[in-house]
């Protein structure tokens, strides 16, 4: 199984709009800044992790 880096999706609380998938925490921060959102205005940053990463503890 290939090891893929985690991916993130930002979901706005008020509208339910999803931004992503994003490849790094830096891109998440840029998305929040670009959309003028604070961490309190987004739901959960959902991380998509490949099964191999969970097995290796990456």
For 14-44, how does the pLDDT look when each residue is reduced to its tens digit (9 = 90+)? Answer: 998 989 888 888 998 999 999 999 888 987 5
Task: Give the whole-angstrom CA distance, residue 58 versus residue 49.
Answer: 10
Q: Is the pLDDT confidence value at 57 over 80?
A: no
38: Cβ contacts below 8 Å, ≥ 6 apart: 32
Question: Which of 46, 36, 43 has the alpha carbon at shortest distance from 7?
Answer: 46
- What pLDDT is recorded for position 23? 86
**What pTM, to 2 d.p., does this model score?**
0.69
Name residues whose C-beta falls within 8 Å of residue 54's C-beta, 6 or more positions apart in sequence. Answer: none
């Amino acid at each position: 199984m290939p090891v893929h880096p985690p991916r993130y999706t930002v979901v706005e609380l008020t509208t339910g709009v999803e931004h992503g998938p994003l490849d790094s925490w830096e891109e998440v921060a840029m998305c929040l800044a670009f959309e003028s959102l604070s961490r309190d205005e987004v739901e959960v940053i959902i991380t998509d992790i490949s099964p191999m990463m969970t097995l290796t503890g990456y």
